[in-house]
Amino acid sequence: MAYWLMKSEPDEVGIADLAAEPARAFEWVGVRNYQARNFMRDRMQVGDLLLFWHSSCPQPGIAGIAEVVSAAHADSSQFDPASPYFDAAATPEAPRWHCVDVRFVRQCALQSPAVLRTHAALHDMTVLQRGCRLSVMPVSAEHWTYLMENVL
């Protein structure tokens, strides 16, 4: 099993949306960075767990835990001309963007970057590094264990 951090804007899809429909699988659409896409397409597996990070909002940070519940597949938003994530160069035969589906595990009290930085064991966590803008990134087993035992 691997661990991940995935960022979402809470006004688009937040942890509360997942909590409201805990049995539903949510398609993680809209990732338009090749490295983040490659993490989903090439490395994520069903059963992997992820930190659900609220991003681009007044209070960013870890808001909960979710689970990967599908193998990578074509991101449906790339084919929808009405979507802000539409990609005219993508076709169903040759999709450019891939995603996974995730399902709610649990919500937690929001853990802001400032609070996370107070934990010495997390000082090298990727999401806390300056300039880190990826919306999908791996989390080390050591960081995951520390977060589960001491923070979340």
Q: Is the dihedral of CA 66, 53, 17, 25 positive or negative?
A: negative
Domain ranges, residue 36? 3-151
DSSP 33-87: -HHHHHIIIII--TT-EEEEEE-SSSS-EEEEEEEE-S--EE-GGGG-TTSTT--
**Distances from the Cα of 107 to the Cα of 6, 8, 72, angstroms:** 14, 14, 24
Look-up of token digits 């767990």: 49
- Judged against a pLDDT cut of 90, whether residue 12 lies above it is answered with yes
Tens digit of each residue's pLDDT (9 = 90 or more) over 72-100? 999 999 999 999 999 999 999 999 999 99
Rg (CA), the chain: 15
151 strand-pairing partners = none
Looking at residue 59, which CATH number applies to its domain? 3.10.590.10
Domain count, the chain: 1
Q: Is this structure's pTM higher than 0.85?
A: yes
